[in-house]
Amino acid sequence: MIQLLLIDDHAVVRQGYRRLLELQGTMTVIGEAGTGEDGMRLWRERQPDLCIVDLALPDLGGLEVIARIRQRDHTARLLAFSMHRDALWALRALEAGALGYVTKSSPPEVLLQAVSTVAGRRTFISPDLAQEVRQLRGEGERGPSDLLTPRESEILRLLLDGRSVADIATTLSLSPKTVHNTHYQIKAKLGAANDFELVRLARRVGFGN
């Protein structure tokens, strides 16, 4: 019996895939958490065989949860479960320490296959993203900063300087909406769930002072 911990801030969503998983007869959910902090606590207390981690958590962010768990136990089996159908998010999850990545738009059988595969300590990527992830991995060693366009890099540097969206828009002769959209795209490319993670990741790869 595979013992699972679900970390997802949407209770209705958790209930749905908990029912799906437990109907298989080979999986049981031993804990649920709606925040990253609670998820970390339950992981320490209950030591599940596998954690399913939503990336869009309201506090730490799923990538941070995955990285912290892997730092404490390099054998931990972690499956990222995300609304983002984006190979860059999948790649960031794998780099953080997840063994698998499944999009929430995937058919139920894909999630079941992912759980079984990751429980066996093998890597699993949603079929709708697998080819794109392989292509990204095949491009050689690329740091997060290499993923940004010159305009995105420019906006990120201004954000790190504490400039407001309106100020950046005026400086670069852009609309505030364009700056907002670019800000979102930068976070997606770097795998940052929130601005705190964005600053941390950006500093790590050499942006800003």
Q: Where are the domains of the chain?
A: 2-137, 144-204
Four-way CATH pick for 144-204: 3.30.230.10, 2.40.320.10, 1.10.600.10, 1.10.10.10: 1.10.10.10
Dig out the tokens for 50 from the structure.
């596998």
Alpha-carbon span 111 to 184, nearest angstrom: 27
The overall pTM is greater than 0.75: no
- pLDDT at residue 198, rounded to an integer: 81
Tell me if 2-137 shares its fold with 144-204. Answer: no
Q: How many helices (H) and strands (E) does the chain have?
A: 10, 6
What's at 199, amino acid-wise?
V
Q: Is-contact 35 9, C-beta < 8 A?
A: yes
Q: Identify the helix (H) or strand (E) that includes residue 101.
A: strand 100-103
Q: Identify the helix (H) or strand (E) that includes residue 84.
A: none
DSSP 8-state code for residue 94: H
- pLDDT at residue 53, rounded to an integer: 96
- pLDDT at residue 168, rounded to an integer: 93
CATH number of 2-137: 3.40.50.2300
Q: Within 10 Å of residue 107's Cβ, how many Cβ atoms?
A: 11
Alpha-carbon span 21 to 17, nearest angstrom: 6
What are the per-10-residue average pLDDT scores of the chain (209 residues)? 94 91 93 94 95 90 91 93 88 91 90 93 87 71 60 87 91 91 79 77 64
